[in-house]
Amino acid sequence: MPTIPRLTNARAPLTKDVEVLDEFGARRHITIPAERALTLFVDNRELVTLMTLGAAPELLVMGYLRNQRLVESVEDIESITVDWEVEAAAVKTRAGIERFDEKTAKRVVTTGCGQGTVFGDLMGELDSVRLPPAGLPSARLTQASLYRLLNVMRLQETTYKSSGSVHGCALFRQDELMMFVEDVGRHNAIDTIAGWMWLHGMDGGDKIFYTTGRLTSEMVIKSAQIGVPIIVSRSGITQMGYELAMRLGLCLFGRATNRHFICYCGFDRFDAQPEPAELAPVKARTA
Amino acid sequence: MPTIPRLTNARAPLTKDVEVLDEFGARRHITIPAERALTLFVDNRELVTLMTLGAAPELLVMGYLRNQRLVESVEDIESITVDWEVEAAAVKTRAGIERFDEKTAKRVVTTGCGQGTVFGDLMGELDSVRLPPAGLPSARLTQASLYRLLNVMRLQETTYKSSGSVHGCALFRQDELMMFVEDVGRHNAIDTIAGWMWLHGMDGGDKIFYTTGRLTSEMVIKSAQIGVPIIVSRSGITQMGYELAMRLGLCLFGRATNRHFICYCGFDRFDAQPEPAELAPVKARTA
C-alpha cells in the first residue's frame, strides 16, 4: 500500500456571471468559465504559474509534476496544499527533488492553441514507451464501443455546455467513463487525469483518452507517458501528433461526434463495423 | 528610416497528405496541417523551441522576441536565419541582449489550449499600456463594419478550410484586411502578426485583431502590447481575458460569425446598429 500524499480539496467556482451586449442590442447576462493563476512552489521553490479553471487543482499539480518527470513516485510527495487566496500550490516532497535546476532548465514551447511548455527531453524518453500489443482485446476498440463512448460524452453535464471556452478530457475503460475533467487549457485537463491515475496507481494500458482538443504532439506524448494506447478527439490532428502516434503505435480517432469519425492511424487497434455506404458523404471532410 | 533586419524567407509546406479510415470503412486521403519544431538561438544561445505550421517563421521569431520583451527595437536585430534542415532560427543582434538570463528566468505557463509560456512580469508591464480613447473614430467599430470584417474572414482561403486544426489571426483597419496568418498555435499566429507590425513600424491604435481562438488572458495581453484596442474572436472568452480587457479598456467581441456576436466589454468602442428584435433567438447562447 503506497503512502498517499495529503491533498487539500480547493475546488473553486467554475463560472462567472457577466453582462454582455448582443447583435440585437440587448444587454443580457451569460456565464463565462473562470480562469485563475496557480503558482507552483516545490519545497518552497517557485516552479511555474499555471492558468486554470480550478476544478481539481491538486490533481492538476500532481499530473503536472508527473508529466514533467519532476517526481518519480507518488510516495515522493508528502502533501499538496492549494490556497486560492494567494493563488499558490505548495508541494512538499519527502526527500527533495534531485537535480531540480537541470530538470527545469530546458524549455520546449509546444503547440496546443498556446505555447505550452515541456521541460526536458521528452522526445528522447518516448523511445522507452511500451504500449500493450494491438492484439490484446483491452487495448483495442470496436466501432460500437466508440459510438457508446461518444454518446456518454454527449450526455455529460459540462461547464462547456453552460459557458463554452473550456476543453474537456475523459478517461474511459472501453465505453465506461472513469474520470472527466475540464479546464481552460486542454493540457491542464490531461495533466489532471494523469494526476488522478497516478494517485490511484492506475495502469493506462486498457484505457482510452477522450479529448475535445486537437491531437497535437503533446496530447500524444502525454497519453503515451501514461501508457494509454487509444485517443479519441472531437477535433482534428496536426502532423507531429500523427507522426508521433505512428511511431509509438497509438490509435487516434478525430472529428469524432455521434456516428462520425476519422481513424488517423493505429488501424490495427480498431475493429471497424462500417456504416452502410449509402450514408457516405459526397464530399470529403477535412482533417 | 530604421535599419531593417535581414530575413530569410523559409516558408515551408503547410499541409501533409495522410491515409485515414472513416466510419464507412473506407480508406481515403486527407490533408492535415504541418507542424514542425523551430528552435530559437539568439546570438548562439538556445532560447526556446516553438512548434509551428511554418507559414512565416521569420515574422514569428520577430514577434516572439518582441512580445517576450527580449528585444526593444527592430534595429537591434541584425538578421534572422531560418533553416528547416536543422529546425533552427538563428537570431543575430547588433549589440547582444542585456540581462538575457534575468529576462528569461521567470516562467508563466498560460492558458490557451496549451500551457503557454510568457517570460517576465508582463502583467506588471500592462499598467503602462495606453490605448487610444474610445471617442476616436479609428479606435471604434460599427456593427456594419464588424459584419463586413466577418465576411472578409468567411471568404478568406485558409489552411483551416483544407486541413482543419489550425488557428487563424488577422489584422484589420476597420474592415480592411491588412495581414492574415495561420499557425498550429494561436499564440504563434498573433506573434507573427506582431512581428509583421513591428517590422513595418506600424501602430496598433487604429487596428482590429481577428482570431479564431478564444479570448484568453494572453490574447488580451498580446493585443494590448501592440496597442490594438479591439479584438474579434470566432470563439468565446475566459475570465482572465475578460478581466484584463475591462481593466485595459479593450473592446472584445466573441462568438462572431455571419451576423452573430457577443460584445463582452468595451461597449463604448462599439456603435451598435441592432438587428430587428423579431430575429432574436429564444434561448441565450453560451459565452
Residue B111 pLDDT greater than 80, yes or no: no
Select from A22, A50, A113 the residue whose CB has the most chain B CBs within 10 Å, as the one to mutate to test that interface: A113
Residue B195 lies in a domain: yes
Q: For residue A183, give the C-alpha cell.
A: 479546464
Question: Which residue in chain A is spatially nearest to B286 when comparing CA positions?
Answer: A163
Select from A109, A230, A263, A286 the residue whose CB has the most chain B CBs within 10 Å, as the one to mutate to test that interface: A109
Contact A117 B111 (CB under 8 A): no
User: For position A111, what pLDDT does the model report?
Assistant: 39
d(CA B218, CA B220): 5
Which of A67, A91, A126 is the last residue before a domain boundary? A126
Residue A131 lies in a domain: no
Contact A35 B239 (CB under 8 A): yes
**Domain count within chain B:** 2
Clarify whether residues A42 and A117 are in a common domain.
yes
pLDDT tens digits for range A219-260: 898 899 889 999 999 999 999 999 999 999 999 999 999 999
Clarify whether residues B145 and B35 are in a common domain.
no
Clarify whether residues B177 and B249 are in a common domain.
yes
- CATH number of the domain that residue A31 is part of: 3.10.20.10
Task: At B45, give phi and psi (nearest 5°).
Answer: -105, 130
Clarify whether residues B44 and B64 are in a common domain.
yes
Residue B285 lies in a domain: no
Q: Is the CA virtual torsion B252, A167, B51, B212 positive or negative? A: negative
Residue A123 pLDDT greater than 70, yes or no: no
Contact A165 B108 (CB under 8 A): no
pLDDT tens digits for range B195-243: 999 999 999 999 999 999 999 888 898 899 889 999 999 999 999 999 9
Contact B184 A50 (CB under 8 A): no
Residue A279 pLDDT greater than 70, yes or no: no
pLDDT tens digits for range B128-166: 788 999 999 999 999 999 999 999 999 998 888 888 888
Clarify whether residues B149 and B37 are in a common domain.
no
pLDDT tens digits for range A57-87: 999 999 999 888 889 899 999 999 999 999 9
Question: Which residue in chain A is spatially nearest to B278 when comparing CA positions?
Answer: A24
Nearest-neighbour CA in chain A from B268: distance (Å): 11
Residue A20 pLDDT greater than 70, yes or no: yes
User: For position B276, what pLDDT does the model report?
Assistant: 81
Q: List chain B residues with CB under 8 Å of A275.
A: 23-25
User: For position B6, what pLDDT does the model report?
Assistant: 95
Q: Which amino acid is at A16?
A: K
Contact A162 B110 (CB under 8 A): no
Clarify whether residues A162 and A113 are in a common domain.
no
Residue B102 lies in a domain: yes
User: For position A106, what pLDDT does the model report?
Assistant: 53
d(CA A266, CA B89): 34
Which candidate from A28, A264, A280 shows the least CB-CB separation from B284? A28
Of B149 and B96, more confident: B149
DSSP annotation of B247: H
Buried b (16+ CB within 10 A) or exposed e, A147-158: bebbebbeeeeb
Residue B75 pLDDT greater than 80, yes or no: yes
Clarify whether residues A195 and A141 are in a common domain.
yes
User: For position B187, what pLDDT does the model report?
Assistant: 85
Given a contact cutoff of 8 angstroms between Cβ atoms, the answer to whether A114 and B185 are in contact is: yes
Select from B19, B22, B23, B222 the residue whose CB has the most chain A CBs within 10 Å, as the one to mutate to test that interface: B23
Which candidate from B35, B188, B238 shows the least CB-CB separation from A238? B35
Is 0.85 exceeded by the ipTM? no
DSSP annotation of B284: P
Question: Which residue in chain A is spatially nearest to B101 when comparing CA positions?
Answer: A105
Which candidate from B16, B111, B164 shows the least CB-CB separation from A239? B16
The strand pairing partners of B168, in sequence order, are B182
Residue A200 lies in a domain: yes
Residue A284 lies in a domain: no
Contact A259 B32 (CB under 8 A): no
Given a contact cutoff of 8 angstroms between Cβ atoms, the answer to whether B19 and A275 are in contact is: no
Which of B74, B107, B127 is the last residue before a domain boundary? B127
Contact B108 A48 (CB under 8 A): yes
Residue B119 pLDDT greater than 50, yes or no: no
Which of B127, B148, B182 is the last residue before a domain boundary? B127
Minimal CA–CA distance to B94: which of B13, B15, B6, B161? B6
Mean pLDDT, residues B56-82 taken together: 92
Clarify whether residues B50 and B171 are in a common domain.
no
Clarify whether residues A275 and A142 are in a common domain.
yes
User: For position A1, what pLDDT does the model report?
Assistant: 57
- What DSSP string describes chain A? -PPPPEE-------EEEEEEEETTS-EEEEEEE--EEEEEEETTEEEEEEEE--SSHHHHHHHHHHHTTS-S-GGGEEEEEEETTTTEEEEEESS--TTHHHHTT-EEEE-SSS-EEEES-HHHHGGG--PPPTTSGGG-EEHHHHHHHHHHHHH---HHHHH---EEEEEEETTEEEEEEEESSHHHHHHHHHHHHHHTT--STT-EEEESS-B-HHHHHHHHHTT--EEEESS-B-HHHHHHHHHHT-EEEEEEETTEEEEEE-GGGEE--PPPGGG--SSPPP-
The parent domain of residue B144 ranges over: 137-279
Residue B56 lies in a domain: yes
Residue B286 lies in a domain: no
- CATH number of the domain that residue A224 is part of: 3.40.140.10
Question: Which residue in chain B is spatially nearest to A267 when comparing CA positions?
Answer: B21
Mean pLDDT of chain A: 87
Clarify whether residues A166 and A266 are in a common domain.
yes
pTM of the model: 0.87
Task: Give Cα separations from B227 to A58, A255, B71, B202, B223 (angstroms).
Answer: 37, 37, 17, 10, 6
Clarify whether residues B106 and B66 are in a common domain.
yes
Clarify whether residues A121 and A149 are in a common domain.
no
H or E element that contains B252: strand B251-257
User: For position A6, what pLDDT does the model report?
Assistant: 95
Residue A110 pLDDT greater than 50, yes or no: no
Mean pLDDT of chain B: 87
User: What confidence category does residue A161 fall into, taking pLDDT thresholds of 50, 70 and 90?
Assistant: confident
Select from A60, A119, A165 the residue whose CB has the most chain B CBs within 10 Å, as the one to mutate to test that interface: A165
Q: List chain B residues with CB under 8 Å of A60.
A: none
